[in-house]
Structure 1
Amino acid sequence: MDPLVPALTGLLVDIVWWLDSCGDEEVDPDSAVKMMESVGWVLQRLPSDQRERLLQVLADSAEAEQDPARREFLESFPVAFGMVEGEES
């Protein structure tokens, strides 16, 4: 796999995690939501082969992650951004 894919995936996750966790004094909440909606819009429109590759990178990253909070974020990322269906409760 092209090493650029995991690197860009890591950057995307870092930016989204930061937007999700920063306070209102750091980033306007409406702007953060708009940005995350934009990310979701782009990810949902990826061709299926690219989406599958991204999902695999996310899964591999989650498996290798030592920080439990970041691992949980990585594991929830595909559902949160509409790339896969969420599990029924």
Structure 2
Amino acid sequence: MTDSNPLVPALANLLVDVVWWLESCGDEEVDPDSAVKMMESVGGVLLRLPSDQRQQLLRVLGELAEAEQDPARREFLESFPLSIGMVEDEES
């Protein structure tokens, strides 16, 4: 990974894991409305990051996806920026 601060990839991994868990939980584990509110909150915080920090996070997420061995988690890492609202769909 190109990031010299090991905290950034660690926190990015943690953030992705929490959002993945929220998306995959059944209604009996987490209230769907609460899960949506939490994911919207995460997306809002990420959108308020300064542009250079957002770009750094996007780069780290890309590096994590490239290094990921689990195909399902790699796919989630690749789709994370779009699904959380950090980037726009290029096809729109």
TM-score by structure 2 length? Answer: 0.93
Q: Where has structure 1 moved over 2 Å in runs of 4 or more? A: none
Give percent identity, aligned residues only: 80
2:83 matched residue in structure 1: 80
| Structure 1 Cα separation of the partners of residues 50 and 44 of structure 2 | 13
1:41 matched residue in structure 2: 44
What 5-or-longer segments of structure 1 have no aligned partner? none
TM-score by structure 1 length? Answer: 0.96
| Structure 2 Cα separation of the partners of residues 35 and 13 of structure 1 | 13
**Alpha-carbon contact 1:44-1:81 (below 8 Å) kept:** no
| Structure 2 Cα separation of the partners of residues 16 and 24 of structure 1 | 15
1:62 matched residue in structure 2: 65
1:51 matched residue in structure 2: 54
| Structure 2 Cα separation of the partners of residues 66 and 8 of structure 1 | 19
Correspondent of 1:17 among 9, 15, 20: 20
| Structure 2 Cα separation of the partners of residues 47 and 34 of structure 1 | 22
Choose between structure 1 and 2 for higher RCO, CA contacts under 8 A separated by at least 6 residues.
2
Q: Deviations over 1:16-75 (max 9, x none)?
A: 000000101110000000000000000111101100110011000000011111111000
How many residue pairs match? The answer is 89
